[in-house]
Amino acid sequence: MNKENDIKLADLARENSYSPYSNFSVGAALRCKNGHVFTGCNIENHGIQSCCAERTAFLKAISEGEKEFESISVVGAVHNEEPTSECTPCGYCRQFMSEFVDENFKIYTLSSGEIKEYTIKDLLPNGFTNHKD
């Protein structure tokens, strides 16, 4: 199944996380409708402009010309530890993703070893928009 595969890819992407400030490494695997998968990790800095794993994956995909997205899988945990609790996208990422996806876009997370499934509509009900219905 794609979601099991993508959760593994997201967990692997944590290895590239640059997160010396939070000590929390996050990986994401963004699946495009054409089957391409882009991974991303969180990238922090000494200011407050950290980039979450989800946005890293979207930025990579969009800058490579991708436009149609199916799902994103997200795994996060303290550095060098196995994920124990669920890592759901932050509010900024929810709004960011909503720009590029339809309401059926899926978000997969890992909760106590089990994959949980949401739609962007579940996580961002009544999200702000000024140009779409």
Options 7-15, 87-95, 100-108, 117-125: segment touching ligand THU (CB under 6 A): 87-95
DSSP labels, 24-48: EEEEEEEEETTS-EEEEE-B--SSS
- Of residues 4, 15, 44, 54, which has the active-site annotation? 54
Segment lying near ligand THU (by CB under 6 A), choices 42-50, 61-69, 77-85, 118-126: 42-50
**Contact between 74 and ligand THU (CB under 6 A)?**
yes
Nearer to ligand THU, 37 or 58 (CB): 58
Q: Contacting ligand THU (CB under 6 A), which of 26, 77, 107, 120?
A: 26
**Using the rule CB under 6 A, which residue among 89, 101, 107, 108 binds ligand THU?**
89
Q: Is there binding between residue 19 and ligand THU (CB under 6 A)?
A: yes
Question: Which residue in 126, 88, 121 sits closest to 102, CA to CA?
Answer: 121
In order of 46, 101, 103, 111, 133, the CA distances from 79 in angstroms are: 18, 30, 33, 17, 40
Position 50 contacts ligand THU (CB under 6 A): yes
- In 3-state terms the chain splits into helix, strand, coil percentages (rounded to 5) of 30, 30, 40
Which one of 6-14, 44-52, 61-69, 115-123 is the stretch in contact with ligand THU (CB under 6 A)? 44-52
- Check the CA dihedral 71-77-79-82 and report its sign: negative
Distance CA 57, CA 17 (A): 12
**4 carries an active-site annotation:** no
Q: Which residues belong to the active site?
A: 54
